[in-house]
Structures are given as structure tokens and as C-alpha cells.
Amino acid sequence: MRIAIQTFGTSGDVQPYLALARGLVARGHEVQLAAPEQFDDLSARFHIPFAPLPGTLLDLLDSEAGKAAVARGRGLSAGFALLGRIRPAMVGLMDAEWEAVRAFRPDLILHHPKSLASPAMAAKLGATSLLASPLPGFTPTAAFPSPILAAKLPRFMNKPSHHLMRALPWLMFGRMLARWRQERLGQGGRRKTGALGVLYGYSRNVVPVPPDWGRARVCVSGYWFLDEPGRRLAPVLETFLSAGAPPVYVGFGSMPGDRPEELAATIAAGLRQAGMRGILARGGGALDLSGDFDDMLVIDGAPHELLFPHVAAALHHGGAGTTGASLRAGVPAAIRPFFGDQTFWARRVEQLGAGLGPLPPRLTPDIVAEAVRGLQAPSLRERAAALGTAIRAEDGLAVAIDHIETCMRG
């Protein structure tokens, strides 16, 4: 079977799909991954055929305007602040997606929720499409609100919030998408696309399948982790880990920062106040700390599956991938959300008893110290360890690929 995977966004939007691509290739399928050009080298490292998409939106996130919007934003506000710059980039992105998928001629287009035109492309090519998402929110339920909304909602608003968030992309981009479909694909109006339903790449132990999904065409497979056999931690990390008690990992993934040294200094002061060592990951630039310290190590990044089992706790941004990795390692976590679904995962970790609720946007040493001390509570550590055991027993990739093959056999 020929499968085109279409995704774009930051690392958390690409790595799970790269893991899925590897698994599909191992099963004998022909796969092409289309993702931002910034991930060309990563795809090559795993020998996955790659179609580069314009990296304009990632560049926007790292611009001064993007950094400012993320620093101020919670929930949807960061996206709205950048909307005027996102719309012009969308047409070029869809053009590149169409060229890639048209040349590949797939039987199935498996796509990230941000790839709005994938179902239309599949219909034009006579292919099937499958929405694949690392977070819930595309199958309405009364069990929890849409993950994209940071605000707490009364329970009766849970299901309507999903319908609202599913409609929002069409309210923002619908006219532009309709014009693009007409001009590029010759499609007018609404037409059935032959979509297979939704495949979710997270654990049922983290977000249980809601009872009101009933017979909806949904599969919650478990996480799609991108592990790399034979890889080791950098010697500087191994030396630091062996030099003292397990440290606290602090990292905000691909999130940019407008005052990275100030934030890193605040966090380091809080860790010291709590009597803990720290590993601070620069990632997308939210953190940076100059100087050499015995109790703090600053790194660009490290594979979570290798590092997290050696840390006492994690303080991170709440991205779906980082949340899954910390939970798999059995590490209690405190989450400082920046935008999007990150507040949802922070609340979910708290509800699971494996960490704390969302930390405030503006951290102080006292807040950090209190959070780190709280993460050492035996009840949190025991619950996080039990949850880690349950997640490690899952094989999300195998379940996802079985589901894809079963759906395509019809």
C-alpha cells in the first residue's frame, strides 16, 4: 500500500508521524512523509522518503512577532495574534502538499489536523484519507472539553466546545480553502471525501475512551514514540547524572522565548531553593543560561526516552509528545503551558495524580521551588510510576498500523 503522511508544525507535530512512517515501512508499505523542510535531516536519519514543505510557519514562530505572541498567549490567543501572517503562508503550503502527494499517487493520505486540504486532495486522486492526531478533540464528547480551549468550562459546555473547535479552522480559512480547491483541484461545494475516521496517538491510560463515542469510527492506539535503538546520551550528560542525586529536567520543547536568560535564571534559583540539581534544555529558545555550574547543566536537547528515566521530576511546557514521554518514564511533572493544548495536558496530568496543575505564566523562584518540592510527594511519585508501567506495556505503533491496514481492507 502507498501511504502519504502529511503533517506540519513543530517537533511534536512531526516526530510521532515519523515514528508511524517507520512502522509502516517495516510492515512493507511504501511511505512518503511531507513535513516542514527543517525536518529533512531527521527524516533522512531514519531513511524515510521525505517531501519538504515550506518552513514559513516555523520561521514565523521564531520571529520577534511569534515570540511575543507565544509569550503573551494562552489557548487560542497566540494563533489569533499571528493570523494575519499565517493566512498568506497557507496557500504556498497547500500548493507544496498537493505537488508532493500528486507525484506520489498514494492509496491513503494520513494527515495531521493542520493539513486541512488533505481530504480534498485524496478525493481528487481517488484515494482514501485518515485523520491522525496526537491529541483528542476531533470526536465530540461530553467527557472533557476541547483540548484547544485553555479556559475551564462547565460540564454542559464540553461537547459544544468540540463542535466549535472543529468549525473554527473553516471559519478562519474556509473561504481561502474553497478558492484553493476550486483553482487547484477543480472542486466546487462540499463533497464526500471517503475519510476513514480518526486515529488518535495517545494512551487510553492517559485519556480514557469516552463512553459517548459509541460506534464512532475512532481508534485510540497509544503513543507513537520515535525511539532510536543504539543511541546514547552525550558524555557530558552521563557525567552530570552520575555526579549527584537525580536532577530535575526543565525544558519547553520548541517554544520560543522573549527573555530566555531571565526565565532560566528564575528556574535555576527555584531549583536551588528546593535543594535540587537541574538539567535545562534550550530547545526552541525559551531557556538559556550562561556560565559553568556544578548543580546546573544547560543542553540544547536530549532524547527523552533516554534522559527521563534518570531524572527526579520534569518541568515542561505540556506538549503532547513531551507529556507522553514523561508519563512513560514514570516521572512526576509540573507544566507551565504556553498555548494550544498544553493547558489540557497539564490538567490531565493533575487529574491522573501524576503531577501538578498548570503553573502560572510568570514564574518566580518561590513558585518553582514549591512546585519541585510538591513533585517529591510519595503519592505523586507512586502514581506516576504506576502510570509509566502501564504506558510502557502498550504498543501504540502496532495498534495504529493494525487499524490502518484493517480499515483499508474494508
Question: For residue range 99-135, what is the model confidence (pLDDT) as tens digits?
Answer: 999 999 999 999 999 999 999 999 999 999 999 999 9
Closest CA to 109 of 34, 4, 192, 185: 4
Residue 351, pLDDT above cutoff 70: yes
3-state helix, strand, coil in the chain (%, to 5): 50, 15, 40
Residue 124 near residue 100, CB atoms below 8 Å:
no
pLDDT band at 216; cut points 50, 70, 90: confident
Of residues 31 and 149, which shows the higher confidence score?
31
Q: Which range (3-17, 54-68, 220-234) has the least confidence? A: 54-68
Q: How far apart are CA 220 and CA 201, in angstroms?
A: 6
Q: Dump pLDDT digits (tens) for 139-150.
A: 999 999 999 988
Mean pLDDT (whole number) for 42-53: 96
pLDDT band at 81; cut points 50, 70, 90: low
- The pLDDT assigned to 124 comes to 95
Residue 89, pLDDT above cutoff 90: no
Residue 202, pLDDT above cutoff 90: yes
Closest CA to 387 of 337, 349, 356, 342: 349
Q: How far apart are CA 114 and CA 8, in angstroms?
A: 7
- The pLDDT assigned to 84 comes to 58
- The pLDDT assigned to 251 comes to 96
Q: Which range (154-163, 164-173, 347-356) has the least confidence? A: 164-173
| Structure-block grid coordinates of residue 374 | 510538591
Looking at this protein, which amino acid is placed at residue 17?
Answer: Y
pLDDT band at 268; cut points 50, 70, 90: very high
Mean pLDDT (whole number) for 354-368: 96
Q: Hey, is 297 helix, strand or coil?
A: strand
In CATH, the number for domain 235-392 is: 3.40.50.2000
Residue 60, C-beta contacts closer than 8 angstroms, at least 6 positions apart: 66, 82, 85, 86, 89
Residue 189, pLDDT above cutoff 60: yes
Domain positions in the chain: 2-223+395-409, 235-392
Residue 12, C-beta contacts closer than 8 angstroms, at least 6 positions apart: 134, 253, 254, 319, 320, 321, 322
- Residue 322's H or E segment, with its range, is helix 320-328
Q: Hey, is 185 helix, strand or coil?
A: helix
Give the global pTM.
0.93
Report the percent of the chain where pLDDT is more than 70. Answer: 91
- The pLDDT assigned to 90 comes to 87
Mean pLDDT (whole number) for 171-197: 83
CATH of 2-223+395-409, picked from 3.40.50.2000, 3.30.590.10, 3.40.50.1000, 3.40.50.720, is: 3.40.50.2000
Q: Which residues of 273-312 are buried (b: 16+ CB within 10 A; e: fewer)?
A: ebebbbbbbbbbbbbbbeeeeeebbbbeebebebbbebbb
Residue 396 near residue 201, CB atoms below 8 Å:
yes
Q: Hey, is 334 helix, strand or coil?
A: strand
| Structure-block grid coordinates of residue 87 | 493566512
- Residue 207's H or E segment, with its range, is none
pLDDT band at 169; cut points 50, 70, 90: confident
Residue 109, C-beta contacts closer than 8 angstroms, at least 6 positions apart: 3, 4, 5, 6, 101, 118, 119, 121, 122, 125, 127, 128, 129, 130
Report the percent of the chain where pLDDT is more than 90. Answer: 76
- The pLDDT assigned to 229 comes to 87
Residue 113 near residue 133, CB atoms below 8 Å:
yes
Average pLDDT, the chain: 91
Q: Hey, is 390 helix, strand or coil?
A: helix
| Structure-block grid coordinates of residue 308 | 527521563
235-392 has the same fold as 2-223+395-409:
yes
- Residue 379's H or E segment, with its range, is helix 378-392
